[in-house]
Structure 1
Amino acid sequence: MWNNLPSDLLSNVFSYLPPHSLARAMVTCRHWHDCGRSTTSRHQHPPWFVALPTRTRNLCFVHNPIESTWHLLGLKHVPSLTRPVSTIPGHGLILFKSTGSVPVQLSVCDPFTGRFRHLPQLQKPRTNPAVGVIEVCPSRCKIYVAGGMSEAESGGAASYEPTLEMFDSRSDNWTIIGSMPVEFAVRLTVWTPNESVYSRGVLYWMTSARAYSIMGFDMSSNKWKELNVPMGDTLEFAAMVPRDGKLAVIGGTHDGNVLVWELGEDDKWNVIERMPAELGKRFVGGSTKCVGIEGGVCLYKEIAKEMVMWRRDGNHKNKWEWYSIEGCNQISGKRLENYPIKGLFLHPNLACSSSFF
C-alpha cells in the first residue's frame, strides 16, 4: 500500500512525524527519502536543545525532548575560528560567525545533515557586530548585523560602524537598511552576546553587563529605542526570550529568586511567572545562562549538569510548566568530560534548510 501512495499524500503523512522518526523513514528507500525532503512539519513538536562546547570545536550535543535522550553530532565542516551566534529555529540551522580581527564572516550549518555554507560578504566590512534573526516564513528568513568595528583607513584608527544591514535568504544578498546612533553601535559591539528577539515589528538586543539594558530597532520607522531591564542592576543573570509573540525577560537574583517579566503595550514590564523556589536556588549564581525560543526556555550551566526547562504544556496551549532534565554526561555508555557550553534551541527540519543550500 505504501508504495502506491502518491508523493503528495505520503509527504502529508510524513508531516506529522517528529524529526527523529522522519529521519528514520527517509533512509528506508529513495521514494521515501524524496518525499521526506519535500515535507514541512504541520504538527508543532517541542524544540530540541542544542549544546555546543565553547572550548572544544566540531562537537554538538542535542537533546531530543520527545524521548528525553542526548545525541552527539559532529560538525567537521565548521571552521575552527568560528563561534555559534544563534539558530534559525524553523529552518533547523545554526548560525555561526567568524572570530578574530578580520571582517566578520557569517555561515550556516545543519547539524543533522552536516551541510555547511558561508553567507555572502557584508556590504560594510566589520568585526564583532550584533547579529539578529527574523523568520519571515518557513522558506524565508532575514539576518541583521548592527554596529561592529569598521576597518581602519590607511594610517588611521578603526572606528565603530553606525549602520545596520540585512541579509534576505530569498535574494541571497546583503543590503544596508539604515543608520544608528554611534553610542548604540559602541554598546552593541562591546556588550551584546548576540541573542536577539523579534517582537511586534521591533528587533531587540540586550547588553551583557549590569545594569542590563535593551536596545531595539523599529522596522517600520527605522528608529532605535532603549528599554531598561526590570531590576537590571540587581540581577545575577538576565536574558531575553520570545513568548507568544511578545518580548519577555527572565532573570535571577542572588537569593535564588527567578522571575519572568513580559513587556506590555505601554513598554512597561509585568511579572508573569516565578520559578519554583527549590529549582531557583540551584540555578542562580556562578555561570548560569539562559536561552529561549517560542514555546520553551532553558537555564543551564555546563553540559553534564542538571538543566531547567520552562515549556508550554503540549496538551494546554496557555499552560507552561517547569521541570529539570539531566545533563549529558555519557553517550552510548561512554562517559563524557564536562564542558562549558553555548545553549541554543531549534526545530530539526530536513526540508526548510534546503532554501539556504
Structure 2
Amino acid sequence: MWNNLPCDVLSNVFSYLPPHSLARAIATCHHWHDCGRFTTSRHQHPPWFVALPTRTSNLCFVHNPIETTWHLLYLEHVPSLTRPVSAIPGHGLILFKSTGSVPLQLSVCNPFIGQFRHLPQLWKPRTNPAVGVIEECPSRFKVYVAGGMSKAEKGGAASYEPTFEMFDSKSNNWTIIGSMPVEFAVRLTVWTPNESVYSRGVLYWMTSARTYSIMGFDMSSNNWKELSVPMGDTLEFAAMVPQDGKLAVIGGTHGGNVSVWELGEDDKWNVIERMPVELGKRIVGGNTKCVGIEGGVCLYKEIAKEMVVWRRDGNDKNKWKWYSIEGCNQISGKRIENYPLKGLFLHPNLASSSSF
C-alpha cells in the first residue's frame, strides 16, 4: 500500500517527520526518494546546534536534539579561505564570508545536502563589514552589510564605508538602501561580531568596544539608533538573541551569574530569566560564547566541553528550561579534537533550495 500512495500524499506524511527520520525514509526506495527529496519539515521540530571549528572550513559537527547525538559532516564543497558568519535557520543554510584583505565575498551552504554557491558581488567592494540576515518567508531571505573598509584609491588611504546595502534572495541582487554616520561605520567594522537580531522592524548588532552596546537600523525610517546593554561594563560575555519576536540579551559575570534581559516597548530592559548558579559556574569564564534562535539559546566554549541550553519545554510551550548537553568527545568511536567553535542554530533542510 505504502509503495502505491500518490506522491502528494507521501510528501504530506513526510512533512511530519523530523529531518533525521526524513533522511532515512527517502533512502528506503526510489519512489520514496522521489516523493521526499523536495519535502520540507513544515511542522515544528527543535533546531539543531551546528558547531563549526573556527580554524578549518571543511568540518561541521551537528547535534541532533531529538536523539541527543552528535554527527560529523565534511564540507568539501566550501572553499578553504572562508569563515561562517551566521545561519539562515529556516532555510537550513549557513552564510559564509571570505577572509583576508580581498573585498568581501558572501556565500551560502546547505551542510546536509552539500549545496554551495557564492552570492553576487556587492555594489560597494568592502572588507569586514557587519553582516545581518532577515528571513521574510520560507522562500525568501535578505542579507544586509553595513560599514566595512573601502579599497583605497591609488596613492590614498583606505577609508570606512558609510553605506548600507541589502541582498534579496528573490531578485538575486544587491541594492544600496542607505547611509550611516562614519562613527557608526567605524564601530560596525572594528568592534561588531556578525550575529544580528531582527525585531519589530529594527535590525540590531552588538558592539564590544570597552562597554557592550547595541546599534540598530530602523527599516521604516532608515534611521540608526544606539542602545545601552544592561550591566554592559561588567559583563564577561554578552550576546543578543531573539525572544518571541523581541530583542533579548543574555550575559554573565564572574561567579556564574547569568541573566536574560528583554527589551520593552520603552527601550528599557527587564530581567526575564536567571540561569541556575551551579550551571553558570561551569559555563562562565574563559571564552564563553552564545547563540540564539526563536525557542532556544546555547552557551558553549569548545567542541568537547559541556554546553548549556535554554529552550522551551516540549510539554509546555510557555515554559522554558535549562539543560546541560555533553560536548562532542567522539563520533563513531573516533576521538574528536577539542576545537574552538563558531556555534549556530538551524532547522535542517533536505530539499533543494531556490537560493542555488
Give me the whole-angstrom Cα distance separating, in 2, the residues matched to 1:275 and 1:236.
Answer: 15
Structure 1 counterpart of 2:188: 188
CA positional deviation for 1:42? 2.2
Structure 1 counterpart of 2:171: 171
Alignment of 1:268-287 (within 5 A): 268-287=268-287
Give me the whole-angstrom Cα distance separating, in 1, the residues matched to 2:337 and 2:166.
Answer: 39
CA positional deviation for 1:154? 1.4
Give me the whole-angstrom Cα distance separating, in 2, the residues matched to 1:87 and 1:317.
Answer: 24
Structure 1 counterpart of 2:148: 148
Structure 2 counterpart of 1:5: 5
Structure 2 counterpart of 1:139: 139
Q: Deviations over 1:9-48 (max 9, x none)?
A: 1111011000011111112223322322332322210010
State the secondary structure of the residue aligned to 1:61.
strand
State the secondary structure of the residue aligned to 2:302.
coil
- Unpaired runs of at least 5, structure 1: none
Structure 1 counterpart of 2:116: 116
Alignment of 1:318-329 (within 5 A): 318-329=318-329
State the secondary structure of the residue aligned to 2:342.
strand
Q: What amino acid is the match of 2:102? A: V
TM-score (norm 1): 0.98
Q: What amino acid is the match of 1:354? A: S
Structure 2 counterpart of 1:301: 301
CA positional deviation for 1:123? 0.6
Give me the whole-angstrom Cα distance separating, in 2, the residues matched to 1:36 and 1:98.
Answer: 34
CA positional deviation for 1:337? 1.2
Q: Deviations over 1:144-169 (max 9, x none)?
A: 01100011111111101111110111
2:216 aligned with 1:216: yes
Give me the whole-angstrom Cα distance separating, in 2, the residues matched to 1:198 and 1:264.
Answer: 15
CA positional deviation for 1:254? 1.0
Structure 2 counterpart of 1:107: 107
CA positional deviation for 1:218? 0.5
Structure 2 counterpart of 1:98: 98
The 8 Å contact of residues 56 and 80 in structure 2, kept in 1 or not, is answered as no
The 8 Å contact of residues 89 and 347 in structure 2, kept in 1 or not, is answered as yes
CA positional deviation for 1:56? 2.8
Structure 1 counterpart of 2:355: 356
2:356 aligned with 1:344: no
State the secondary structure of the residue aligned to 2:354.
helix
Q: What amino acid is the match of 2:110? A: D
CA positional deviation for 1:8? 1.4
Structure 2 counterpart of 1:199: 199
2:108 aligned with 1:86: no
The 8 Å contact of residues 106 and 118 in structure 2, kept in 1 or not, is answered as yes
Give me the whole-angstrom Cα distance separating, in 2, the residues matched to 1:54 and 1:209.
Answer: 22
Give me the whole-angstrom Cα distance separating, in 1, the residues matched to 2:305 and 2:179.
Answer: 43
CA positional deviation for 1:331? 0.4
CA positional deviation for 1:181? 1.0
Q: What amino acid is the match of 2:308? A: V
Structure 2 counterpart of 1:33: 33
Q: What amino acid is the match of 2:199? A: S
Q: Once superposed, what is the RMSD of the aligned Cα atoms? A: 0.9
The 8 Å contact of residues 93 and 111 in structure 2, kept in 1 or not, is answered as yes
Structure 1 counterpart of 2:125: 125
The 8 Å contact of residues 112 and 349 in structure 2, kept in 1 or not, is answered as no
Give me the whole-angstrom Cα distance separating, in 1, the residues matched to 2:36 and 2:295.
Answer: 25
CA positional deviation for 1:121? 0.4
Q: What amino acid is the match of 1:232? A: G
Structure 2 counterpart of 1:48: 48
Number of aligned positions between the proteins: 356
State the secondary structure of the residue aligned to 1:356.
coil
Q: What amino acid is the match of 2:128? A: N
CA positional deviation for 1:171? 0.5
Q: Deviations over 1:316-351 (max 9, x none)?
A: 111110010100010001111111111111000122
State the secondary structure of the residue aligned to 2:76.
coil
Give me the whole-angstrom Cα distance separating, in 1, the residues matched to 2:118 and 2:42.
Answer: 29
Give me the whole-angstrom Cα distance separating, in 1, the residues matched to 2:129 and 2:62.
Answer: 27
Q: What amino acid is the match of 2:56? A: T
Q: What amino acid is the match of 2:145? A: V
